[in-house]
A and B are shown apart, each in its own frame.
Chain A
Amino acid sequence: MKSLWLISACLMSLALAPQDAQSSLDLEAGDSEAPRGWSAPVIEQIERLPVQEGGRVKPFHTFANFTLLRLHGSRRLSSPEGQSLSPVEWLLDVLLRPGSTTRDELFLVQNGEVIEAIGLPLGAAKGRAKYSYESLWPALVNNKLFDLASEYVRIDEKERSPVQSQVVLLASNVSSYDRLLSEMSWAQVDFEVPAGDRISALFEGRKSVAFHDIVKNAVPMLTLRQELDDLGDAASMEQSLGILEMLSQAVEAVRYSNSLAFLPPVASVDSEAEWMTAAALFSNALQGMPVAEVYIDALAGWEAAAAAPDDDVVVAHALSNVVREVNWLADARGEGDSLGLELRYYKLDLLTWSLSLFVLAFITCAILWMRPKSRVVYRITWAFAGSAYALLVAAIVMRCVIRSRPPVSTLYETVLFVAATGGLSALFVEWVNKRRIALSAATIMGMGLLFIANGYEMLDKRDTMPSLVAVLDTNFWLATHVTTITMGYAAGMLAALLGSIWVVCKAFRLKRHDPSFFKGLSRMTYGVICFAATLSIVGTILGGIWANDSWGRFWGWDPKENGALMIVIWQVAMLHGRMAGLLRDKGFALAAAFGGTVIAFSWWGVNLLGIGLHSYGFTSGIHSALWTYYGIQWAVVALGLIAVRSGKPALNK
């Protein structure tokens, strides 16, 4: 019996061996001519399949979405034949028709020097371009890409040149794709049953069997082999070797199947949280762990789909079996509750619709600036902006329900929340004073921030609903401190926008015959700063109280804390300066406009320093966007200082 477990341990270690840098798939000429795309019933089935990735369970649709985004830089891919593929279609192709995807221009490379560095000829595209797996193949065969990447990865991330970073990224992406190509290898091959009565009886006399048959019979096969070894005669030894070879073939077929964890454990979430890939399931089977029938059905489903990938009816039926079995298990573990809602969230694409409505609202807003007395245009703008905000709020609410979290727990969500709360505050002000100014601000703010959210998602290329690190795993503090401070950002950014509008209109002598315009704008800016200061002060102190409970000190002069303090100080100084008569209308507007950069520094700028305890918020690649914003706000301040004469004393003097 001891040797049985020894063999199984050897096989298991093979099954779980990490993939070599060298590609595991030989390019198959001819497959590239295979049809692409999938029928609606197939897509409807597979996109609902739950998979575990990044520490959470998500629909296959989400997994495909972010996988393609990470490798390709966008969510649509054109096949060489010009067919536009969705992430789900593409990923299903990779899994079930791997050879057909190697000519897709999949890999986004930002700089042509990367291609030269890995020893490939640079074509017409010197800058940003997309390359297929096939075109990168020479650099994979001679290992140039992975050799360079392993050299560069030893350099500290901050010290790497852009080309070095891109080489590392390209190697990582190629490696991810490579693993996906081989993910379903086990489903695409049959295994010949070796000669021998007893092994033949185990497989009911079949000459060849599928992978799921081997998984199901792993333990009987190992036991049989042990018994044959114990007999010791030549015929038995030959049969034993045949069984070992069959198991080895199965291990070889499944060894790269480590990307798609689609098999939930039968046990509860508390006792076993990690889902299994096909490789992990086989490894467990070889260790003698019982294999539930539901797993066998799921494997058989994938095998049926892989056997006839061009027959949509067969594939749809096969995948529906897989999805049904896996969903049943996920539901039993309480992990399937929000999968449907998440799928709906991404399919409805409320944020894109919201952004489109903001763009329309902005256009009508521009018309309103030219025809300010037009009630029709005013109402249309209200309708567009209101609808856009309704969709934005709906999207945020859906995210809260999906994650069972308050609205803000990641940097991405801060952008959505700032857009929603800032814009809704502006709409409230517009509802009170109906001066058209706050409506414009709401439109500009919503549109601008949704563009930023979209840009950030494209830049980050990671799941926007990630698992949270331990310190953030507290809904109480996320709901109080994070929400309050983010609302403070929103109000501060709105005030910066209103202040900038004041300065620009004054500088270019717009509305010069309408003093009430500037008077109203000043009052609005002041009111919004009061609101912002309240939220910033309370939010910052709440953050200190949280830090006191997590890290043992109320205040540690951490960069993120300092950023929040700077916002508080700036806004409090503005209010006191106004009271002291140091800041009049012009000064207050300029200070509000400059305050936007203080908020941007706290919100994004300190993350670029790469230090401090708030390291879960680090990001990169936002330098240019941040400096553009700083530049705009400083230009507004400079314009105000140069071109605007001092206004009248503050309103409440």
Chain B
Amino acid sequence: MNQVNKETSVTVLGGRVMQALSSLRLSCTLLILLGLLTWLGTLEQAEHGLYEVQRKYFESYILFFDAGPISVPLPGANLVMTLLFFNIVVGGIVRLRKTSNQLGVLIVHVGMLLLFAAGFIKLNYSEEGHVTLYEGDASNTYQSYHKWEVAVSRMLPDRTVKEWLIPGQQFLGAHGDESQVFRSDDLPFDVVLSHVMSNSRPLRKGPMFEVDVPVIDGQFLKEEPRLPDSERNTAGVYVSLQETAGDTQVDAMLWGRDVEPYQVDVDGVRWGVQLRRERYPMPFTIALDDFIKEEHPGTMMPKWFSSDVTVVEEGSPRSLRISMNEPLRNNGLVMYQASWGPANAAPGTPLFSTLAVVRNPSDQYPLYACILIAIGLLLHFMRRLSGYIRAESRS
């Protein structure tokens, strides 16, 4: 008897959960919450910049909104959209009437699910960055806009460079002089990172003031306030290379805009250490042949810019053009004409072209979702419109 009761209560509970999860009330609540988050996130961008706001509101599961002196907990857009996804799935299975009248609605919701899936894949499995080239330059890597890494490198006898990487997410959260030790069997030293700064600049230490960070060769890293525009922040970190089998210790400071790695000799081998934007390999090499920039006549307003490039893949070169609204899709990567520089360059100054690079497995899903949603909505609302016209004609 108890067994039956238990089964009944489990069934009832399960049914209630399914009912709640599929309910239109939940849909409305989640939509209102998503609208609220979008509104708050939009307003806050003016103060804190897109990158910070995106992480706080749209890529989080929970957040605290500062309403004056009170911090109000709110679900993050990630949580809301996850629940909305299940709401649509369960609602479609449990609640949606499977009749021809509802075919349009069904198609719309399938399209929405595809859109959510695209967002999920993009958020978790995509990489994005850029490659910046002057005419004649070539590259087979691209680098992140926001993420940092420490690269320890060594030149091998065959003149190739071998690198050991420490991703920024493993050390950028550290505070103050807190040290973090990174060890690898391949390295003859431990890499100790401390005084991590998300935005910094190197300064010469003068005699008239004291600093609370190490001074190396008369210089130190000064922590700067984080800028709203994340790309403009330059990270900095102090590094100490401590020989594993000896007492030798080399201290250095790494700044994100240093062009060359800091070089150190250990046991007669030259090593390089560098703080830089995360780099990702490309399955091909791209060379910039020609960058074209046009302005509307008599104005400074950009009319057109494009990059003529050569893509070398498995030894065979191809000439292509990348321009605004005409990206290059190749081997899982998409390359866009993003920007150029230097800004305010004098006539005749060599210009560089910046190509945004994205690896997004769900690149074309939104297009398919859009087609599905448009078909579904047209089907559904045309049916409703014809019903309305018929009803009005009768009345």
* Interface residue ranges, A against B (CB under 8 Å): 52-56, 261, 273-275, 432-433, 467, 469-471, 473-474, 477, 523, 527, 530-531, 533-534, 537-538, 541-542, 544-546, 548-559, 562-563, 565-566, 569-570, 572-573, 576-577, 579-580, 582, 601, 606, 609-612
Question: Do residues A555 and B299 form an inter-chain contact, with CB atoms below 8 A?
Answer: no
B349 vs chain A, min Cβ distance (A): 20
Residues of B within 8 A of A52 (CB): 297-298
Residues of A within 8 A of B45 (CB): 557, 559, 609, 611-612
Cβ contact of A477, chosen from B325, B373, B389, cutoff 8 A? B325
Pull 8 A–B residue pairs with CB atoms less than 8 Å apart, ordered by A. Answer: A55-B303, A523-B388, A549-B325, A553-B360, A557-B41, A557-B57, A579-B24, A582-B24
Tally of B interface residues using CB under 8 Å = 63
**CB of B282 within 8 Å of the partner chain:** no
Question: Do residues A552 and B370 form an inter-chain contact, with CB atoms below 8 A?
Answer: no
Cβ contact of A557, chosen from B53, B297, B324, B363, cutoff 8 A? B53
A55 touching B298 in the complex, CB below 8 Å, given contacts A545-B370, A573-B32: yes
User: Which one of B172-180, B209-217, B313-321, B377-385 is at the A interface?
Assistant: B377-385
Question: Do residues A432 and B392 form an inter-chain contact, with CB atoms below 8 A?
Answer: yes
Question: Do residues B377 and A552 form an inter-chain contact, with CB atoms below 8 A?
Answer: no
CA of A223 to CA of B306, assembled, Å: 43
**CB of B122 within 8 Å of the partner chain:** yes
CA of A274 to CA of B301, assembled, Å: 13
**CB of B334 within 8 Å of the partner chain:** yes
Q: Which of A477, A533, A544, A606 has the most CB of B within 10 A?
A: A544
Residues of B within 8 A of A55 (CB): 295-299, 301, 303
Residues of A within 8 A of B356 (CB): 551-552
Question: Do residues B336 and A550 form an inter-chain contact, with CB atoms below 8 A?
Answer: yes
Cβ contact of A473, chosen from B42, B304, B374, B392, cutoff 8 A? B304
Q: Render B38-65 as a binary contact track against A, CB cut-off 8 A, 1 for contact.
A: 1101110110001001100110000000
CA of A189 to CA of B85, assembled, Å: 78
Q: Which 6 A-B pairs have the closest CB atoms?
A: A55-B296, A580-B24, A274-B297, A573-B31, A541-B370, A569-B35
**CB of B338 within 8 Å of the partner chain:** yes
Cβ contact of A432, chosen from B24, B57, B389, cutoff 8 A? B389
A470 touching B303 in the complex, CB below 8 Å, given contacts A549-B325, A612-B45: yes
**CB of B119 within 8 Å of the partner chain:** yes
A569 touching B324 in the complex, CB below 8 Å, given contacts A533-B377, A552-B338: no
**CB of B302 within 8 Å of the partner chain:** yes
Residues of B within 8 A of A523 (CB): 388
Closest to A277 in B: B298
**CB of B120 within 8 Å of the partner chain:** no
Question: Do residues A611 and B338 form an inter-chain contact, with CB atoms below 8 A?
Answer: no
* Interface residue ranges, B against A (CB under 8 Å): 23-25, 27-28, 31-32, 34-35, 38-39, 41-43, 45-46, 50, 53-54, 57-58, 115, 118-119, 122, 128, 295-299, 301-305, 324-327, 334, 336, 338, 356-358, 360, 363, 366-367, 369-370, 373-374, 377-378, 381, 384-385, 388-389, 392-393
Interface SS, A side: helix
Cβ contact of A273, chosen from B54, B297, B363, cutoff 8 A? B297
Closest to B358 in A: A552
A378 vs chain B, min Cβ distance (A): 17
Question: Do residues B373 and A580 form an inter-chain contact, with CB atoms below 8 A?
Answer: no
Question: Do residues B303 and A576 form an inter-chain contact, with CB atoms below 8 A?
Answer: no
Question: Do residues B377 and A538 form an inter-chain contact, with CB atoms below 8 A?
Answer: yes
Question: Do residues B336 and A531 form an inter-chain contact, with CB atoms below 8 A?
Answer: no
Closest to A466 in B: B301
CA of A573 to CA of B378, assembled, Å: 19
Question: Do residues A552 and B336 form an inter-chain contact, with CB atoms below 8 A?
Answer: yes
Q: Which of B41, B297, B378 has the most CB of A within 10 A?
A: B297
CA of A272 to CA of B92, assembled, Å: 60
A538 touching B374 in the complex, CB below 8 Å, given contacts A273-B297, A471-B325, A550-B325: yes
Given contacts A55-B297, A474-B325, A552-B128, 14 further A-B contacts (CB under 8 A): A54-B298, A467-B301, A469-B301, A469-B302, A473-B325, A527-B384, A538-B374, A541-B369, A557-B53, A573-B31, A576-B31, A582-B28, A610-B46, A611-B45
Residues of B within 8 A of A433 (CB): 392
Residues of B within 8 A of A534 (CB): 374, 377-378, 381
Question: Do residues A562 and B42 form an inter-chain contact, with CB atoms below 8 A?
Answer: yes
CA of A9 to CA of B372, assembled, Å: 64
Question: Do residues A527 and B42 form an inter-chain contact, with CB atoms below 8 A?
Answer: no
Residues of A within 8 A of B115 (CB): 541
A51 vs chain B, min Cβ distance (A): 10
Cβ contact of A542, chosen from B39, B295, B370, cutoff 8 A? B370
Closest to B323 in A: A470
Question: Do residues A577 and B366 form an inter-chain contact, with CB atoms below 8 A?
Answer: no
Cβ contact of A573, chosen from B35, B122, B304, B385, cutoff 8 A? B35
Question: Do residues A470 and B46 form an inter-chain contact, with CB atoms below 8 A?
Answer: no
CA of A553 to CA of B122, assembled, Å: 9
Closest to A563 in B: B42
Residues of A within 8 A of B325 (CB): 471, 473-474, 477, 546, 549-550
Residues of B within 8 A of A562 (CB): 38-39, 41-42
A544 touching B381 in the complex, CB below 8 Å, given contacts A55-B303, A273-B297, A565-B38: no
Residues of B within 8 A of A566 (CB): 35, 38-39, 42
A261 touching B39 in the complex, CB below 8 Å, given contacts A534-B377, A538-B370: no
Question: Do residues A545 and B50 form an inter-chain contact, with CB atoms below 8 A?
Answer: no
